[in-house]
Amino acid sequence: MNRIILSFDYEIYFDGSNRLDSLIQNTDEILKSAKKSNSKLVFFIDIYYLIKLEEYGLSSHFDKLRNQILEMIDKGHEIQYHLHPHWINAQYNKDKDLWKYDQLEYSFTDIIKIYGKTFAYDKFNKGVNKMKEWFAYKPMAYRAGGLSIDQNQGELLELLIENKFEYDSSVMPGLYLQGKFIHIDHRSAPKKAIWNVDDTFLSESKTSSIDSSIKEIPVMTINKFDIPLSDRIMTSLKYRAISAISAKDDSILANIGRPFDLEINQSTYPISITFDKSKLADILLLKYFTKTYFKKNANIMCILSHPKSFLNQSFEVFNNYLNWIDKNRNKYIFSGFSDILKSEK
């Protein structure tokens, strides 16, 4: 059976605003779609945003998010740990209703470098404890905010093992981003669907035993050379044909808020499946990429999307994809990390 982890990073934009509308309403629609096709989803919760809301007594925001997260769990979805370290020291300006944070505190490595190991460990553990306290949920999978995971993350690995995590899902093979705050280079990552991790998330362990180690389930990417040229041409023609006849998107909920200027100098984005900003024609590609990915001997595929980034058309694409998987349930099944763990044992 081919297992698909349909994961969402549950978070707001980085623009310092407190606007939850697109997150709450889009997630609501996503949950409705999942219910219709009986699909299981995974939400990586940006837990430090909730911690800050509680700290500053912003209870109406906090309650909205907490209630929606409780609904996810109630409906049988999975929640996991997502950490955007810029929240850790964020300060709230009540008069302006704006958050202020230091962009240099972008990755967990930055926090360790600036504040030391003890401080960073305390903050990480607090996130885990809050998930237990608020949701009676013990996370087993981790995703670094902005996928900012690098070669030297032995400390993070130590923390994941200490907290009895089983999986990391922060690597996107082929991704390369270099900028003022961001240093991501996942070009050397294995082209595999799952691997055991030793001292770096970015390569497969040669020695460690399966019990003691964290496993990496990367965000799926496809090497464009795995797609035959004839298919590339056909798909691109069909794609253009559908794009030409489909209506313009009139979404007002997506794109509220702008990401802060990440000042990226160099970037390579690999081919991947996402529902973010997807338009009608994308359904063609998403199905094609799904088939192609599983042809490469993989039987696990992790998809990454963001509720905040759905356009109106993205919901149609999403529904269509869920129904397609449902119709092909002899081949594909949506799974959480707990299902993967069970299937491995």
* Residue ranges that bind Zn ion, judged by CB under 5 A: 9, 11, 145
Position 256: which residue type? Answer: I
Q: Least distance (Å) from Zn ion to the CB of residue 297?
A: 30
Q: Least distance (Å) from Zn ion to the CB of residue 181?
A: 14
Q: Least distance (Å) from Zn ion to the CB of residue 273?
A: 17
Q: Least distance (Å) from Zn ion to the CB of residue 147?
A: 8
Do 15 and 46 meet the contact criterion of CB atoms below 8 Å apart? Answer: no
Give the residue closest to Zn ion by C-beta.
9
DSSP secondary structure string, 26-72? HHHHHHHHHHHTT---EEEEEHHHHHHHHHTT-HHHHHHHHHHHHHH
Q: Which is nearer to Zn ion, 258 or 296 (CB)?
A: 258
Nearest of 288, 282, 286 to residue 249 by alpha carbon: 282
Pairing of strands 332-334, 2-10: parallel
Q: Which is nearer to Zn ion, 49 or 289 (CB)?
A: 49
CA-to-CA distance for 235 and 225, rounded, in angstroms? 15
Nearest of 278, 224, 325 to residue 3 by alpha carbon: 325
Q: Which is nearer to Zn ion, 53 or 284 (CB)?
A: 53
Both structure tokens of 97: 């209703």
Q: Which is nearer to Zn ion, 177 or 283 (CB)?
A: 177
Q: Which is nearer to Zn ion, 183 or 238 (CB)?
A: 183
Q: Which is nearer to Zn ion, 148 or 205 (CB)?
A: 148
Answer positive or negative: Cα dihedral of 24, 29, 30, 32: positive
Q: Least distance (Å) from Zn ion to the CB of residue 82?
A: 6
Q: Which is nearer to Zn ion, 146 or 173 (CB)?
A: 146
Answer positive or negative: Cα dihedral of 257, 307, 24, 13: negative
Composition of the chain by helix, strand, coil, percent to 5 = 40, 20, 40
Q: Least distance (Å) from Zn ion to the CB of residue 129?
A: 20
Q: Least distance (Å) from Zn ion to the CB of residue 52?
A: 15
Q: How far is CA 66 from CA 17, 79, 99, in A?
A: 19, 12, 20
Q: Which is nearer to Zn ion, 9 or 216 (CB)?
A: 9
Q: Least distance (Å) from Zn ion to the CB of residue 211?
A: 30
CA-to-CA distance for 295 and 232, rounded, in angstroms? 16
